[in-house]
């Protein structure tokens, strides 16, 4: 749940273009960066279903310095021709290491470079990366300057931040120092996740805070993040916070239809009338996801890379638990096809997963 019951929402938002520096996006609906998930197959499907822009999972500066020619490493940098514009995201600790890493992302073909000041994972914080940087504005802003200077002018640089380290006034002050300082150093947009770093995924994303930041931002481009699990939630966040764009995260894993449906809602369809995809529509997309994963990783690894998505796809099936267990047990391509044959053979209406509690965390 979030802090904006739909009954309090006034004007209905509609589809609007979104500008990230030189990039003009067709709508304000974006696929968020998701470590372990937002790889080429997920992003391609998100784009086909209408996401205006997608972000690759975060990459460490050290990983980018040592990518080499290893197939698995290169797969993480792979971009399909059809998916542009796509953003690459960077994480690190030392400002000196960001410039070469940012250039490597540009060389790989990413159209925008996003910097991660949000990751709440303990190991990441312990290494002074991700969300930790919200506690040291000087270092954070030095990183922004180094990245902005390192990449060509036409490539936008953006930031992803949580709303602060914690709920203290000092944390909020640091948030605004970084927010304003980053724009002053040339970032094109900032995405704010309305949870604090210590909060991790407990409790709601604070949309009142996002609204206050957008009022502060004025014309500067801000995207909102947190608790976007349905088209209605997307409309509500836009109406409540007035942010310029949204990044859909967990709500898009195993549910690319959320993009199509959110755009329909922005174009005037009543979200209450939108129905989940049928079992046959689901089968087609899961099979395509598997094909894309095979092309990228090879057949052996595709099944493994897809299992975590399949568990989420299963939530849209009328028999979610049965299908989830069948996907978990599938090892080979033949097993995968058998699950689709057995459980997706007969068409039926799909199930709406948006009311489920999502316990996926970074
Ligand atoms: C499994 C997982 C991986 C994530 N990886 C990233 C990442 O690589 N970069 C990033 O900026 N945010 C990452 N996030 C945060 C999401 O982009 C998003 O801000 C957060 O999940 C809140 O949105 P939601 O409540 O709608 O899921 C991740 C979140 C999850 C659950």
* Confidence check: pLDDT of 291 > 80: yes
* Confidence check: pLDDT of 6 > 60: no
Q: pLDDT tens across 312-355, in order? A: 999 999 999 999 999 999 988 899 999 999 999 999 999 999 98
Q: Using CA of residue 180, residue 185, residue 189, residue 190, what is the dihedral sign?
A: negative
List the domain range (segments joined by +) for residue 291: 279-343
- Domain containing 79 — which CATH number? 3.20.20.70
How far apart CA 208 and CA 148 sit, in angstroms, is 30
Report the atom number in ligand 1 closest to the C-alpha of 360.
31
Residues 301 and 259 in one domain: no
Q: Under DSSP, is residue 3 helix (H, G, I), strand (E, B) or coil?
A: coil
Kindly state if the Cβ of 2 falls inside 6 Å of ligand 1: no
What is the DSSP track for 182-230?
HHHTT-SEEEEESS-TTTTTSS---HHHHHHHHHHHTTSEEEEES---S
Residues 179 and 303 in one domain: no
What is the DSSP track for 291-312?
HHHHHHH-HHHHHHHHHHHHHH
Residues 139 and 231 in one domain: yes
- Is residue 3 in some structural domain? no
Q: Whose CA is nearest to atom 22 of ligand 1?
A: 226
pLDDT band at 4 (very low <50, low <70, confident <90, very high): very low
Q: How much is the mean pLDDT over the chain?
A: 95
Q: Whose CA is nearest to atom 6 of ligand 1?
A: 34
Residues 198 and 325 in one domain: no
Domain boundary among 225, 240, 272: 272
Residues 118 and 188 in one domain: yes
Residues 147 and 249 in one domain: yes
How many Å lie between the centroid of ligand 1 and the Cα of residue 68? Answer: 27
- Is residue 1 in some structural domain? no
Q: Whose CA is nearest to atom 14 of ligand 1?
A: 34
Q: Which of 1, 3, 29, 33 to mutate to test the pocket of ligand 1 (most atoms within 8 A of CB)?
A: 33
Q: Which pLDDT score is estimated for 7?
A: 46
Residues 70 and 190 in one domain: yes
* Confidence check: pLDDT of 294 > 60: yes
Domain boundary among 272, 289, 319: 272
Residues 291 and 266 in one domain: no
Q: pLDDT tens across 203-229, in order? A: 999 999 999 999 999 999 999 999 999
- Is residue 225 in some structural domain? yes
Residues 250 and 291 in one domain: no
Domain boundary among 272, 290, 321: 272
Q: Whose CA is nearest to atom 13 of ligand 1?
A: 34
Domain total in the chain: 2
Q: Under DSSP, is residue 282 helix (H, G, I), strand (E, B) or coil?
A: helix
Q: How many other CB atoms are there within 10 angstroms of residue 359's CB atom?
A: 7
Alpha helices in the chain (DSSP H): 40-48, 61-65, 71-77, 95-108, 122-126, 137-150, 169-184, 207-217, 231-241, 257-266, 279-297, 299-313, 320-329, 333-343
pLDDT band at 156 (very low <50, low <70, confident <90, very high): very high
Q: Which pLDDT score is estimated for 300?
A: 84
Residues 158 and 127 in one domain: yes
- Is residue 70 in some structural domain? yes
Residues 200 and 307 in one domain: no
pLDDT band at 10 (very low <50, low <70, confident <90, very high): low
- Is residue 161 in some structural domain? yes
Residues 286 and 143 in one domain: no
Q: Which pLDDT score is estimated for 2?
A: 53
pLDDT above 70 as % of the chain: 97
């Amino acid at each position: 749940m979030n802090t904006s019951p739909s009954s309090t929402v006034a004007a209905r938002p509609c589809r609007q273009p979104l500008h990230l520096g030189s990039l003009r996006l067709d709508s304000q609906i974006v696929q968020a960066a998701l470590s372990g998930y937002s790889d080429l197959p997920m992003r391609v499907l998100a784009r086909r279903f209408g996401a205006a822009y997608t972000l690759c999972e975060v990459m460490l500066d050290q990983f980018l310095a040592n990518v080499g020619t290893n197939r698995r490493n290169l797969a993480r940098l792979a971009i399909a021709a059809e998916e542009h514009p796509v953003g690459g995201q960077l994480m690190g600790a030392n400002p000196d290491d960001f410039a070469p890493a940012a250039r490597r992302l540009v060389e790989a073909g990413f159209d925008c470079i996003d910097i991660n000041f949000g990751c709440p994972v303990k190991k990441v914080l312990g290494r002074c990366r991700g969300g930790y940087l919200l506690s040291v504005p000087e270092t954070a802003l030095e990183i922004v300057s180094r990245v902005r200077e390192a990449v060509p002018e036409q490539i936008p640089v953006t930031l992803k931040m949580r709303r602060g380290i914690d709920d203290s006034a000092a944390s909020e002050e640091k948030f605004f120092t970084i927010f304003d300082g980053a724009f002053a150093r040339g970032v094109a947009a900032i995405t704010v996740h309305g949870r604090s770093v210590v909060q991790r995924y407990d409790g709601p994303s604070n949309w009142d805070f996002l609204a206050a930041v957008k009022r502060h931002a004025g014309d500067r481009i801000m995207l909102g993040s947190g608790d976007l699990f349905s088209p209605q939630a997307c409309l509500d966040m836009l109406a409540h916070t007035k942010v310029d764009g949204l990044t859909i995260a967990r709500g898009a894993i195993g549910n690319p239809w959320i993009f199509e449906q959110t755009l329909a809602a922005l174009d005037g369809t009543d979200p209450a009338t939108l129905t989940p995809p049928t079992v046959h529509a689901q089968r087609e997309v899961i099979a395509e996801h598997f094909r894309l994963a095979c092309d990228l990783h090879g057949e052996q690894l595709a099944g493994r890379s897809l299992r975590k998505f399949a568990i989420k796809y299963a939530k849209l099936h009328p028999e979610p638990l049965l299908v989830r267990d069948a996907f978990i047990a599938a090892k080979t391509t033949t097993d995968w096809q058998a699950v689709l044959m057995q459980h997706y053979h007969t068409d039926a209406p799909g199930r709406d997963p948006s009311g489920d509690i999502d316990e996926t965390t970074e």
